[in-house]
Amino acid sequence: MTNATKTANAPIVEDRNAWRWGFTPQAEVWNGRLAMIGFLAATLIELFSGQGFLHFWGIL
């Protein structure tokens, strides 16, 4: 068995944490992570300021 035969059958593993642009699974993973950070930030602003997020920024 040669080296070429071993690598020809090896599965292709993509790095799920890589920063890739476009509609890729990696981009969706990062989109979800950043959305969770934004939601947590909005929740903490409301909790500590006693105002809604839009009132805190003076939009409403």
Domain that holds residue 28: 24-60
Q: Tell me whether residue 52 is in a domain.
A: yes
Q: Tell me whether residue 40 is in a domain.
A: yes
Q: Tell me whether residue 43 is in a domain.
A: yes
Q: Tell me whether residue 45 is in a domain.
A: yes
Q: Tell me whether residue 54 is in a domain.
A: yes
The pLDDT of residue 5 = 58
Count of structural domains, the chain = 1
pLDDT tens-place string over residues 44-56:
989 998 888 788 8
Residue 42 near residue 53 (C-beta atoms within 8 A):
yes
Q: Tell me whether residue 2 is in a domain.
A: no
Residue 41 near residue 33 (C-beta atoms within 8 A):
no
Q: Tell me whether residue 6 is in a domain.
A: no
pLDDT at 35 over 70: yes
